[in-house]
Amino acid sequence: KDLAHRIAHFARFPQTGVSLRQMVEFGQNPSQGTLLRAAQFLHDELPIRLAHRVVELDSLPDNLNQMPSVLRVKRMYIDSFNELINFPRVSDRIKSAVKSATVQGMMERRHLPGNHPNPSCSDIQRSTSSHWIPSIQHRSSYHYEVKPTELPVEVSEYNRSFVKALERIKRRHDPVVTTLAHGVVEYKQLLKTDRIDNHVQHFLDRFYLSRIGIRMLIGQQIELNQQQRHPDYVGVICTHTRVADVVQEAIDNARYICGDYYMLMNVPEIELHCPKDLAFMYMPSHLHHMIFELLKNSLRAVVELYGDESENYPPIKVVVAAGNEDITIKVSDEGGGIPRSAIEEVWTYMYTTAQTPMLDPEFDKSDFKAPLAGFGYGLPLSRLYARYFGGDLKLISMEGYGTDAYLHLSRLSNNEEPLA
Ligand code: W6P
């Protein structure tokens, strides 16, 4: 009763988006004081985001909001919400210690490393509701590092225990996608349909997009608190993500998986055309994930069209274009294409039936070979990863010939998280 009230209360606050650039500026050589401020932000922001999801889960159509799997997911969100609102607030004494150390540290100005993809875009715009954010808007304290020795030990103790709580929450939510997917299968069986309606589709898009954002923020805080740090990384963000390297890695992995799955003597070639030193600020794990997903789809189409014994598959071509606004990556296959009428289905959560065993909780994973193209969630989720930082993913298909996938990634890292 009281809990429902608290969730409704938090769900009335607007969610506060953060841009890639804000995360990077905030995470440059953070002192324990800066990490504490980030912890305070998350301590305010995460319960708001979680509460929004609980309210949305509740307002799903009848039957769906009562599905055991949907209830399980809701329970995870409620448990994490509870842990966060019960986590102690930073005491006033520590707050003022951090504040005075910040003022004393004002002379030690640190700049972002040079060599920005787009130097004109370094201004932080957009106002937010959190009381943590004003320091970002006025570009004040977070640019000025604090001498760690001036801070009481409680600060780093607080940071450490907050990270522990975040790790626990992140782990709890690992099975959310498969659990919800299972709920969708049950729902479709109940309605005796294999299509999900637009309402549910949009709900899942919002829900998974929100999950990407929450996990990004949590992952960022966990990483920033680690001791050792790679020079090009700020948390999970790489300031110089080398596109050719990440794409080549995805190529190698996708070809390996494909050869293994179909037991091929030779795997279709994948040609990469990419400016050699092209680098930009991005999250390499997201980039790898999206390209890997596209390549698996292309490989599957080619192998299934030509059969698993072909000696000369048409190569898949990956072209990377560097514009001012976007980096666009085109993946072209000659796998026969998709009928135009079936393109929309590619983006829905559930367009194949082969996935059902994987989603069965009783299913023994050990003697199951994961299907090459996942279980129908790879493409819609990849599009959400692209959109999360202001990009997009589009498919153009020539039925009878092949498919081109266009992955647009925004170079203007000022794009704020899209928050539904
Ligand atoms: C296909 C179907 C598909 C989906 C996504 C990416 C590439 C391809 N190729 O035939």
For the segment 108-117, what is each residue's pLDDT rounded down to a tens digit? Answer: 333 333 333 3
In the numeric block, which tokens belong to residue 136?
A: 């970002």
Confidence of residue 197 (pLDDT cuts 50, 70, 90): confident
Q: Which of 25, 56, 293, 417 is catalytic?
A: 293
The protein residue whose alpha carbon is closest to atom 4 in ligand 1 is 297
The protein residue whose alpha carbon is closest to atom 3 in ligand 1 is 297
Return the SS3 of 278: coil
d(Cα 177, Cα 220) in Å, to the nearest integer? 20
Predicted complex: ipTM over 0.85: yes
Greatest Cα pair distance, the chain, in angstroms, is 72
**Cα 247 from chain centroid?**
18
Burial grade of 65 (CB within 10 A; 0-12, 13-18, 19 or more): middle
Q: Residue 7 has what pLDDT? A: 98
Q: What is the mean pLDDT of residues 325-344?
A: 95
Nearest of 210, 229, 153 to residue 17 by alpha carbon: 210
Mean pLDDT of the chain: 84
E strands along 209-253, which residues? 233-234, 237-242
Cα of 274 to ligand 1 centre, how many Å? 21
Cα angle 14, 19, 23; round to 5: 110
Q: What is the pLDDT of residues 13-52, one digit of tens each?
A: 999 999 888 899 889 889 999 999 999 999 999 999 999 9
pTM (predicted TM-score): 0.84
Nearest of 279, 327, 165, 233 to residue 23 by alpha carbon: 233
d(Cα 75, Cα 70) in Å, to the nearest integer? 9
Ligand 1 pocket test, pick from 289, 305, 395 with the greatest ligand atom count within 8 Å of Cβ, gives 395
Ligand 1 pocket test, pick from 295, 297, 372, 398 with the greatest ligand atom count within 8 Å of Cβ, gives 297
Clarify whether 324 is annotated catalytic. Answer: no
E strands along 285-386, which residues? 316-322, 326-333
In the numeric block, which tokens belong to residue 341?
A: 């009428």
Q: Where does ligand 1 bind, in terms of residues with CB under 6 Å? A: 294, 297-298, 301, 333, 335, 337-338, 346, 379, 395, 403, 405
Cα of 241 to ligand 1 centre, how many Å? 26
Amino acid at 318: V
Res 291 pLDDT > 90: yes
Per the CB < 8 A criterion, the answer to whether 15 and 45 are in contact is yes
Cα of 349 to ligand 1 centre, how many Å? 16
Q: Which of 159, 225, 297, 415 is catalytic?
A: 297
Q: Residue 110 has what pLDDT? A: 36
d(Cα 52, Cα 66) in Å, to the nearest integer? 18
Cα of 329 to ligand 1 centre, how many Å? 14
**Cα 172 from chain centroid?**
16
Clarify whether 293 is annotated catalytic. Answer: yes
Residue holding tokens 């999206």? 290
Res 390 pLDDT > 50: yes
Report percent pLDDT > 90 for the chain: 64
Confidence of residue 375 (pLDDT cuts 50, 70, 90): low
Cα of 407 to ligand 1 centre, how many Å? 13
d(Cα 281, Cα 244) in Å, to the nearest integer? 14
In the numeric block, which tokens belong to residue 194?
A: 């294999």
Return the SS3 of 110: coil
Per the CB < 8 A criterion, the answer to whether 249 and 289 are in contact is no
DSSP state of 286: H
Amino acid at 239: T
Ligand 1 atom closest to residue 338's alpha carbon, by position in its atom list: 10
Return the SS3 of 209: helix
Q: What is the pLDDT of residues 220-254, one digit of tens each?
A: 999 999 988 888 999 999 999 999 999 999 999 99
